[in-house]
Amino acid sequence: MNMHSLILRTAGHFLLPLLLLFSVFLLLRGHDEPGGGFIGGLVAAAAIVLYLFSMDIQSARKVLRVDPRDVLGTGMVLAVISAIPGVFRGQPFFTAQWWEFTAPLFGEIKLSTVLIFDIGVYLVVIGSVLTIMLTLAEAEE
Amino acid sequence: MMISVALPVVLPLLFGALSVMLWRSHFAQRSLGVIGTGAMLVVSVWLLADTWEHGHVVMEMGSWPAPFGIVLVSDMLAAIMVVLTGIIGFATAIYSLSGIGKMSEKFGYYPLLHLLLAGVNGAFLTGDIFNLYVWFEVMLVASFALLILGGERAQMEGAIKYVTLNLLSSMIFLTAIGLTYGLTGTLNMADIADKLSTVEDTGLVTVIAMLYLVAFGVKAAAFPFFFWLPASYHTPKVAVSALFAGLLTKVGVYALYRVFTLIFNQEVDFTHEILLWVAAATMLTGVLGAAAHYEFRRILSFHIISQIGYMILGLALFTPLAIVGGVFYIMHHIIVKANLFLISGITFVMKGTHELKLMGGIYRTHPMLGVLFLIPALSLAGLPPLSGFFAKFIIIRAGIEAEAYWAVAVALVVGLLTLYSMIKIWAEVFWKAQPEGVETDDVTSGPMVWMWVPVIMLALMTVAIGLYGEPIYQMAAMSAEQLLDPSQYIEAVLGESRQ
C-alpha cells in the first residue's frame, strides 16, 4: 500500500489536520448552508485514507486511535438517541429540540437535537468508510 | 399523541445501534438480541391494543404535518403484522442463541437482525409510499448481508439471484412512485388515494397499478416472479431462513393488500381479476415445485410460494369475508412456516444434512420432535382443528360465495398436494429407518435447548389459533372492515392535519 512518495508523505502529514478541521467546519456549517454530517464524515474519512495511502495500515490505525467499528456504533447510537428527546415533551419522534443561549466571546449559540443527529451521521460515515478501507487494505497485504 | 406506533421501529434501530457499539462482546450482543426483540414484541402488543381501541394510530414524524411530512400509521392489518414480526423476531433471537455460530456473530449477525426487523416494521407502519420504498431497501440491505453470512459458494449463488431480482423490483417500484407523484403531486398514501379518485385518466392509473403489482409481486414471490425464492432460501443459516420465510415475502403481500385496497380500488373488475389469475398460478406452481424436490428447506421454500397464492386469493376475491380469510391466512402462515424452518434446523443438527434421502429414523430417537413437526405440517396442509384449517376454510367459503369456482378448485387441489408434501417429509425424515451407510453425528445435548424453546412456543401458538380462533377472527374481521373502507384511513391520516 505504501507508495514510497516523499511528496505524498509530506503532504499527507500536513493535510491530515487541515482536512479534519475542514470536516468539522462542514459538519457545523451544515444546518443552514451546504455541508452536514454526511459530507463532513466523508472528508474526515478521506483524510485518514490519504494518510493510509502515504504511510501504512499500522500508522493509520494509530492515528485513528480507536477501532472504526466503535466509531460506527457510537455514531449510530447518537443518531437514534437524537430522535428521542421530543417524546418527553409530548411531541412525536424526531421533532427537533432547540436550546439557545449566549456565551461570552461566541455570542448567540444554538444547540439542537439536529446537531446530535448530524454528529451521529458524521461518525457513522467515518466508521463505515474506514472499516471498509482498512479491511480492504489488510486483505491486500 | 400515542408513541406506541413509532416504538416498533425505533426500538430495533436503537438495539441494533447498541449491538454495533458492543461488537466485541458475544454475550452483550446475544443479550441485546433477546432483550431487544422481546421489548419489540411487548411494544407491538401495546400498539395492537391501542389500534384495537382507536381504530387507527397516527404519528407525524418530526412534527411535519401530513401530507408533507412522513407519517406512521397503524391500522389493524399493520398492527397485526407488527405483532407477528415481534413474535418471529423474538423466536429467532432465542433460536440464534444456539443456532448461530460465533463466526456469524463476529460478522454482525445481531445488528443485521435488528436492522432487518426495523425495516420490516417500518414497511408495515409507514403511511408514505416513498418511505415504504426506503424501508424496503433497509430490509433488503440487511437481508443481503444475512443471506451471505458464512460465505459458502451456494450462498453466493443464491444471493446473486436474490439481489438481482430484488433490485429490479425496487427499480420498477421507484418508477411507479415517480409516475404516481407526477399524477397526483403527493407521496402520502392517504393523500394519493384521496386525489386518485378525482383523476380522469383512469387508463394511466391502471398502468401504474400494474407496475406496483409487478414490483410487489417480485417481493412477495408471486407467479411468475417467484424463482429467486427457492434459489436462495435454502442456503443461509437456518435461523436466517426462518426469519426470511416468516417475514420477507409477507411484506410484499402486505404492500399488495395496502395499495390494492387503499389506492387502486377504481377498476376492481380488471385489477383484481389479474390478481385472481396470479393467485391461482402462484398456488399451483409452488406446490408442484415442492412435489418435485427432496431437500427439506427447498420443499418448504416452494410451499411459501403456494401459500402466498392463498393470501393473494383473499385479496383478489375482494369481498369482506375473503379479506378476513387472507389476513387470517397471513397470521397462521407466518407462525407455521417459520416454525417448520426452525425444525429443519434441529433435524440438520441431528443428521448433518437437509437431504430427505439421507435422513430417517428421527421418530424412533426423538418422538417429541416428530409431534412438534406434525403440528405445523398438518396445519400448513389445512387439517382441523389446527390454524391452517380455519384459514383455508374462510378463504374457500369466500371463494364459493363469490362464485369463483375454478379458483376454489385450485385451492382445494393445492391443499391436497400440500398434505402430500408434508407426509413426504414426515415419512422420509421421521418415519423411515435411518438409511444404511450414512454417518450421523447425533448431538442433542447442552446448548441445543435454545433451539427447542421457540419451536415449542410457535407450535403451541398454532394449536391455540386453531382451538381458540375467535379473537384472531375478530381482529381479522376488523382489519377487513378497515381495508374495504379506505375513507377511515384517509380521515385518520389527513383529518388530524386539517384540525
| B2 part of contact set with chain A, CB < 8 Å | no
pLDDT of residue B107: 83
C-alpha distances (whole Å) from B132 to each of A55, B12, B119, B243 are: 45, 17, 9, 20
pLDDT score, position B499: 43
In which element (H, E) is residue B59 found? Answer: strand B57-60
Among partner residues A69, A84, A92, which is closest to B23 by beta-carbon distance? A69
> What confidence score (pLDDT) does residue B438 get?
61
**Interface pTM (ipTM) of the complex?**
0.88
Predicted local distance difference test score (pLDDT) of residue A36 = 87
Name the residue in chain B with its Cα closest to that of A70.
Answer: B21
Give the pLDDT confidence of B44-83 residue by residue, as tens digits.
999 999 999 988 999 988 888 888 889 999 999 999 999 9
pLDDT at residue B175 tops 70? yes
| % of chain A surpassing 90 pLDDT | 39
Picking from A73, A86, A92, the nearest residue to B20 by CB comes out as: A73
CB–CB contact A70 B16 (8 Å): no
Long-range contacts for B481-485 (Cβ within 8 Å, ≥24 apart)?
Answer: B481/B320, B482/B55, B482/B56, B482/B75, B482/B76, B482/B77, B483/B75, B483/B77, B483/B257, B483/B261, B483/B262, B483/B323, B484/B261, B484/B318, B484/B320, B484/B323
pLDDT at position B209 over 80: yes
Residue B204 has pLDDT above 80, yes or no: yes
User: Which residues are CB-neighbours of B213 under 8 A, at least 6 positions away?
Assistant: B256, B260, B271, B274, B275, B278
Tell me the per-residue pLDDT of B89-141, one tens digit each, with 9 for 90 and over.
Answer: 999 999 998 877 777 888 889 999 999 999 999 999 999 999 999 999 999 99
Residue tagged 399451483 (cell numbers):
B284
B326 CB neighbour count, 10 Å cutoff: 31
Q: Is the pLDDT reported for residue B235 higher than 80?
A: yes
So what's the pLDDT on residue A48? Answer: 92
At residue B476 the predicted structure's pLDDT band, cuts being 50, 70 and 90, is very high
Chain A contact for B20 (CB, 8 A cutoff)? yes
CA distance B86 to B67: 29
**pLDDT exceeds cutoff 70 at A140:** yes
For residue B18, the chain A residues in CB contact (below 8 A) are 73, 77
Instruction: Take residue B252 and report the three cell numbers written for it.
Output: 410484499
B362, containing H or E segment: helix B362-365
* Chain B residue numbers touching A87 (CB-CB < 8 A): 3
Residues of chain A in contact with residue B22, where contact means CB-CB under 8 angstroms, are: 73
Which pLDDT score is estimated for A32?
Answer: 78
Q: What is the mean pLDDT of chain B?
A: 89
Per-residue cell: B90: 423474538
- Per residue in A57-107, pLDDT (tens digit) is 888 888 888 999 999 999 999 999 998 888 888 888 888 888 888 888 777
Question: Hey, which of A28-37, B153-162, B396-405 has the most confident mean pLDDT?
Answer: B396-405
The secondary structure element, H or E, covering residue B71 is: strand B71-74
ω into B385 cis (within 30 of 0): yes
Rounded Cα–Cα distance for residues A18 and A47 (Å): 9
Which residue is associated with the grid cell 410457535? B458
Query: Measured between alpha carbons, how far is A130 from A57 in angstroms, rounded to an integer?
Result: 11
From chain B, pick out residues whose CB is under 8 angstroms from the CB of A86: 63
- List CB contacts of B491: < 8 A, sequence separation 6 or more: none
- Ordered alpha helix ranges (H), B268-319: 268-291, 296-317
Long-range contacts of A95-101 (CB under 8 A, 24+ apart): A95/B62, A95/B63, A96/B62
How many A-B residue pairs are in contact by the CB < 8 A criterion? 53
Residue with the larger pLDDT of the pair A110 and B218: B218
pLDDT for B445 beyond 50: no
For the beta carbon of residue B266, count every other beta carbon within 10 angstroms: 15
- Angle, to 10 degrees, between the axis of helix A6-29 and the axis of helix A37-54? 170
Closest CA to B462 of B338, B362, B344, B284: B338
Q: Which of B378, B384, B463 is nearest to B426 (CA)?
A: B378
The label of the residue with cell 439481489 reads B163
* Band (A137; pLDDT cuts 50, 70, 90): confident
pTM (2 decimals)? 0.93
- Peptide bond just before B320 cis, omega within 30 deg: no
Which pLDDT belongs to residue B179? 93
| Nine cell digits for residue B176 | 411507479
Report the percent of chain B where pLDDT is more than 70: 97
Gap between the Cα atoms of B328 and B391, Å rounded? 6
Contacts of B372 (CB under 8 A, 6+ apart): B343, B455, B456, B459
What is the residue type of B364? R
Which of B17, B61, B62 is facing A76, going by the closest CB pair? B17
Interface test with B, best of A74, A76, A78 (most B CBs within 10 A): A76
pLDDT, position B223: 85
Give the domain ranges of chain B: 267-486
